[in-house]
């Protein structure tokens, strides 16, 4: 990726194509002192009022800067790295790395007191977004610590399960998570609008035989399906199913695709919870193909190729992207010991905001 100039036009040169950058797109990014508020970085004008016939009178590149004179009299010097940052969707993290059960080592970080606004937290969040999950080791195994940790990188999102929830075997339960049964890898709460983005599970104690945690990179499974069974990938990424949760106090429903793509046909989100989904009425041949595709997706998620299995230790926090990483557990005997995880949800915007804050604090914006 590079910036080129030709006949007073600015172009973005990619590997296989060359795109002109519209003068209006550049002009509205000119942060002039009299047109921008320094404290908020908000414009002091309405960019929709800029003239549609705006043109570039003169442009030059020197020492990593793009200098432009516009025909409305405005001159501005752009830092090319900052333009690249925005052209790359303005994301504060690197491109995800797909993994399977052969991953060399789980992404981990060691908890340190007063780490919340340090470079260690920046590295932790970068690895989280890179792999879709991370284990934070050696945190205080105290029931109130999870909220403190979660609020340091975002804001805890309450649900009908509460601000936090207790994952342990209960006599009266409204979800299979609160039993000692095996739970296949799944994404949480696909019946919500919007679906929680990030889940944290804090191990207070885990003294049972069994009760191993499982995680699966849903993006890796989807990419495998796309490569090996394109027709099955296609039907899972084009068919919406209904997800439903019911207890004595609430009925929640939402529709969505098991594999959701963005406007560029890239992976955006995985929704997979066979205990809660209801397939719509479809033409027979299409429905048979859908069932075949869902069956294969579930089989891959439970396979030795993709399922990573490990046991959470006292004080571990498992943090995972609920839009990408599936999680589950093996069964255990509730009469042979105790297993107690404290859980909560936060959203992507808060952790991305934390990353951008730490980028600015440590001047790391261009070092990824």
Structure tokens belonging to residue 98: 């797909």
Average pLDDT over residues 77-105: 87
Residue 128 and residue 63 share a domain = no
Whether residue 103 lies inside any domain: the answer is no
Average pLDDT over residues 107-135: 96
Residue 310 and residue 276 share a domain = yes
Residue 312 and residue 247 share a domain = yes
Taking 80 as the threshold, does the pLDDT of residue 76 lie above it?
yes
Residue 269 and residue 185 share a domain = yes
**11-17, Cβ contacts within 8 angstroms, sequence gap of 24 or more:** 12/87
C-alpha 157/C-alpha 150 separation (Å) is: 10
Residue 78 and residue 113 share a domain = no
Place of tokens 């804001």: 155
Are the CB atoms for 72 and 45 separated by under 8 Å?
no
Whether residue 364 lies inside any domain: the answer is no
Q: 279-318 pLDDT, tens per residue?
A: 999 999 999 999 999 999 999 999 999 999 999 999 999 9
Domain span at residue 28 reads 2-88
Taking 90 as the threshold, does the pLDDT of residue 171 lie above it?
no
- Give the CATH number, domain containing residue 66: 3.30.2020.30
Q: How many domains does the chain have?
A: 2
Q: Which of 33, 27, 78, 83 is nearest to 53 (CA)?
A: 27
Taking 70 as the threshold, does the pLDDT of residue 368 lie above it?
no
Q: Angle at the Cα of 347 (from 359 to 341), degrees rounded to 5?
A: 110
Whether residue 365 lies inside any domain: the answer is no
Which one is predicted more confidently, 2 or 318?
A: 318
Instruction: Indicate the pTM of the whole model.
Output: 0.88
The mean pLDDT of the chain is 93
Structure tokens belonging to residue 35: 């047109």
**83-89, Cβ contacts within 8 angstroms, sequence gap of 24 or more:** 83/3, 83/29, 84/1, 85/365, 85/366, 86/29, 87/1, 87/12, 88/1
Q: Which of 216, 165, 196, 211 is nearest to 327 (CA)?
A: 216
Residue 285 and residue 137 share a domain = yes
Taking 90 as the threshold, does the pLDDT of residue 14 lie above it?
no
Position 335 scores a pLDDT of 84
Position 1 scores a pLDDT of 79
Whether residue 100 lies inside any domain: the answer is no
59, 88, 117: which is the final residue of a domain? 88
C-alpha 116/C-alpha 142 separation (Å) is: 18
């Amino acid at each position: 990726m590079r910036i080129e100039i030709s006949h007073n036009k600015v172009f973005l040169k990619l590997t296989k194509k060359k795109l002109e950058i519209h003068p209006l797109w550049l002009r509205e990014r000119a942060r002039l002192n009299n047109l921008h508020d320094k404290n908020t970085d908000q414009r002091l004008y309405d960019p929709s009022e800029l003239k549609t016939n705006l043109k570039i009178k003169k442009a030059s590149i020197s020492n990593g800067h793009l200098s432009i004179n516009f025909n409305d009299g405005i001159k501005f010097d752009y830092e090319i790295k900052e333009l690249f940052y925005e052209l790359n969707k303005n994301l504060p993290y690197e491109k995800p790395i797909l993994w399977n059960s052969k991953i060399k080592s789980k992404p981990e970080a060691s908890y340190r007191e007063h780490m919340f606004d340090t470079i260690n937290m920046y590295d932790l969040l970068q690895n989280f977004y890179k792999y879709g999950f991370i284990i934070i080791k050696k945190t205080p195994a105290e029931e109130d610590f999870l909220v403190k940790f979660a609020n340091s990188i975002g804001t805890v999102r309450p649900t009908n399960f509460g601000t936090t929830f207790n994952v342990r075997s209960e006599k009266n339960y409204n979800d299979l998570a609160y039993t000692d049964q095996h739970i296949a890898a799944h994404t949480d709460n696909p019946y919500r609008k919007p679906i929680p983005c990030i889940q944290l599970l804090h191990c207070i104690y885990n003294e049972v035989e069994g009760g191993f945690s499982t995680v699966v990179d849903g993006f890796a499974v989807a990419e495998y399906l796309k490569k090996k069974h394109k027709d099955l990938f296609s039907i899972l990424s084009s068919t919406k199913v209904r997800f439903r949760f019911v207890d004595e106090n609430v009925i929640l429903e939402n529709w969505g695709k098991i594999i959701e793509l963005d406007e560029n046909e890239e992976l955006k989100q995985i929704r997979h919870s066979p205990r809660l989904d209801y397939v719509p009425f479809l033409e027979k041949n299409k429905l048979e193909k859908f069932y075949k595709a869902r069956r294969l997706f579930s089989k891959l998620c439970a396979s030795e190729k993709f399922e990573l299995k490990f046991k959470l230790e006292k004080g571990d926090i498992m943090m995972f992207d609920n839009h990408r990483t599936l999680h589950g557990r093996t069964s255990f005997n509730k009469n042979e010991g105790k297993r107690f995880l404290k859980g909560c949800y936060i959203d992507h915007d808060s952790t991305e905001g934390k990353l951008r804050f730490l980028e600015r604090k440590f001047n790391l914006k261009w070092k990824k």
